[in-house]
């Protein structure tokens, strides 16, 4: 745990330093300097909003391997189930006309799989040892097809774009209102008021932004289910979802920061509007209606 926390802090510090250098080059570092210049404010918000999201995307494969402890496989491990895993992902990516991703597994009792990476040519598909133990091979194939479909759909990049736009919008609107309040009066209280309003707006708009990104995340799960059904067959995809529903207690929903590394998720504590995954029952029903 300590190693993961240290890695997280180092990564975020690196992102901060990188963005600070970029903002210095653009002449927009320190939003206190933009004064009444809205173009500088917009540059600041776009760089921080989009830049942070894209740096996280570039690091996603590296971070996923470090956080979960993924061990890569090459199809020649001598362990029959791992060589089967490699051959299955290889076949599914060939069907989807994709470059072969890195393929791996990690030791965990959790029933889980995920795909991540900054591009279709630099992606990773990984499964937990718990999933390999708890599912039949036709069910695992459905899960793998779902993850390959995420890569084929470009979901990681699209999610990053949406998150970056939302981040920039929240920052821009909150700071614009704060700027208006400061310029409306020369009193010292206007500065304190503008700061407080900015903080409140960032929190409120941040929640609205979470609704937008969560909605898109739920939609991409449906699309990945359809893509998985196309690659592996609808019955395999349905079998995988039904097995996940039967073993839902083996998917840990208590780490929202790792929600993108989950194949399914329970109801968010704050309600369905903030859930990154649709209910498994809804996904099963949608796939059963697939023609």
DSSP-derived 3-state class of residue 73: coil
Write the pLDDT tens digit of every residue in 171-190: 888 888 887 887 776 666 77
Domains of the chain, residue spans: 69-152
Q: Measure CA 179 to chain center.
A: 32
Query: What is residue 29's predicted lDDT score, i.e. its pLDDT?
Result: 46
Q: What angle do CA 158, 161, 167 make, to 5 degrees?
A: 140
Structure-model confidence comparison of residues 275 and 234, the more confident one: 234
Q: What is the DSSP letter of 273?
A: G
Output the pTM of the full model: 0.81
Among this protein's residues, is 281 annotated catalytic? no
Burial level of 7, CB count in 10 A (0-12/13-18/19+)? middle
List, as one string, the DSSP characters of 198-260: HHHHHHHHHHHHHHHHHHHHHHHHHHHHHHHHHHH-HHHHHHHHHHHHHTGGGS--S-GGGGG
Give CA–CA dist 217/275, Å, rounded. 8
Write the pLDDT tens digit of every residue in 96-147: 999 999 999 999 888 899 999 999 999 999 999 999 999 999 999 999 999 9
Give CA–CA dist 173/47, Å, rounded. 15
DSSP-derived 3-state class of residue 112: coil
CATH 3.30.2010.10 fits 69-152, yes or no: yes
Choose the catalytic residue: 102, 110, 139, 147: 147
Assess whether pLDDT exceeds 70 at residue 2.
Answer: no
Assess whether pLDDT exceeds 70 at residue 28.
Answer: no
Give CA–CA dist 177/211, Å, rounded. 22
Write the pLDDT tens digit of every residue in 11-27: 555 555 555 555 555 54
Give CA–CA dist 215/142, Å, rounded. 23
Highest mean pLDDT among 217-221, 247-251, 259-263: 217-221
């Amino acid at each position: 745990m300590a190693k993961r926390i240290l890695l997280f802090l180092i990564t975020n510090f690196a992102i901060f330093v990188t963005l600070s250098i970029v903002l210095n080059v653009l002449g927009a570092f320190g939003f206190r300097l933009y004064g009444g210049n809205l173009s500088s404010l917009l540059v600041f918000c776009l760089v921080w909003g989009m830049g942070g999201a894209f740096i996280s995307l570039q690091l996603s494969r590296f971070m996923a391997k470090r956080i979960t402890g993924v061990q890569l496989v090459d199809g020649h491990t001598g362990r029959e189930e791992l060589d089967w895993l490699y051959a299955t992902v290889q076949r599914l990516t060939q069907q989807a006309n994709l470059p072969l991703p890195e393929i791996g597994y990690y030791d965990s009792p959790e029933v889980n799989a995920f795909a991540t990476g900054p591009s279709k040519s630099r992606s990773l598909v990984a499964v937990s040892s718990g999933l390999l133990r708890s599912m039949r091979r036709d069910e695992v194939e459905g899960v793998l097809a779902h993850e390959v479909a995420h890569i084929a759909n470009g979901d990681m990049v699209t999610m990053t774009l949406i998150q970056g736009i939302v981040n920039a919008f929240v920052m821009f609107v909150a700071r614009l209102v704060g700027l208006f309040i400061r310029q409306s009066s020369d009193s010292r209280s206007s500065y304190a008021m503008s700061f407080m309003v900015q903080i409140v707006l960032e929190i409120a708009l941040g929640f609205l932004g979470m609704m937008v990104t969560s909605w898109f995340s739920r939609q991409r799960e449906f699309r990945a289910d359809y893509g998985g059904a196309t690659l592996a067959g609808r019955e395999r995809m349905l079998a995988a979802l039904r097995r996940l529903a039967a073993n839902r207690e083996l998917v840990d929903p208590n780490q929202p920061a790792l929600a993108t590394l989950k194949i399914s998720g329970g109801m968010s504590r704050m309600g369905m509007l903030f859930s990154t995954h649709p209910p498994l029952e809804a996904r099963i029903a949608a796939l059963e209606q697939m023609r």
